[in-house]
Copies of this chain bind each other. A is one copy, B any other.
Amino acid sequence: MPSFPTYAVTVDLVVLTVRDGALAALLVRRAAAPYRGRWALPGGFVLPDEDLAGAAARELAEETGLVPDAVHLEQLRTYGAPKRDPRGRVVTVAYLALLPDLPAPVAGTDAAAARWWPVEGVLGESVRLAFDHERIVGDGVERARAKLEYTPLGAAFCPAEFTIAELRQIYEAVWGTTLDPRNFHRKVTGTPGFVVETAGSTTRNGGRPARLYRRGEATLLHPAMLRP
Question: What residues on B are CB-neighbors of A91 within 8 Å?
Answer: 7, 9, 52, 91, 93
Q: Which bracket fits the contact residues of A? A: 20 to 34
CB of A46 within 8 A of CB of B78, answer no
- Complex Cα gap A75–B208 (Å): 49
- Chain B residues near A50: list those with CB within 8 A: 82
For residue A196, CB closer than 8 A to chain B, the reply is no
Q: How far is the CA of A78 from the CA of B92 in the complex (A)?
A: 10
When chains A and B are docked, how far (Å) is the Cα of A78 from the Cα of B80?
12
Picked from B7, B52, B77, B223, the residue with its CB within 8 Å of the CB of A75 is B77
Residue from B4, B32, B82, B93 within 8 A of A80 (CB atoms): B93
Interface of A is mostly: loop
Q: In the complex the two chains form, what is the Cα distance from A7 to B46 in whole Å?
A: 10
The answer to whether A45 and B5 touch (CB under 8 A), given A80-B93, A81-B51, A93-B80, is yes
Contact yes or no, A7 B5, CB < 8 A:
no
Q: In this assembly, does A190 line the interface, its C-beta being within 8 Å of a C-beta of chain B?
A: no
- A124 is an interface residue with CB less than 8 A from chain B: no
A85 CB to closest chain B CB (Å) equals 9
Cβ of A94 to closest chain B Cβ, rounded Å: 9
Residue from B4, B7, B82, B93 within 8 A of A78 (CB atoms)? B93
A42–chain B nearest beta-carbon distance, Å: 16
Chain B residue numbers with a CB within 8 Å of A226 are 223
Query: From residue A114, how far is it (CB to closest CB) to chain B in Å?
Result: 20
The answer to whether A48 has its CB under 8 Å from any CB of chain B is yes
A44-82 vs B, Cβ < 8 Å mask (1 yes, 0 no):
011111111000000000000000000000010111111
- Can you pick out 17 interface pairs between chain A and chain B where the beta carbons lie within 8 Å of each other? A4-B8, A5-B45, A5-B48, A6-B6, A6-B9, A7-B7, A7-B46, A9-B9, A46-B80, A49-B82, A52-B78, A52-B91, A75-B77, A75-B78, A78-B78, A78-B93, A91-B91
Q: Which 8 A-B pairs have the closest CB atoms?
A: A6-B6, A52-B80, A78-B78, A4-B45, A51-B81, A5-B48, A7-B9, A78-B93
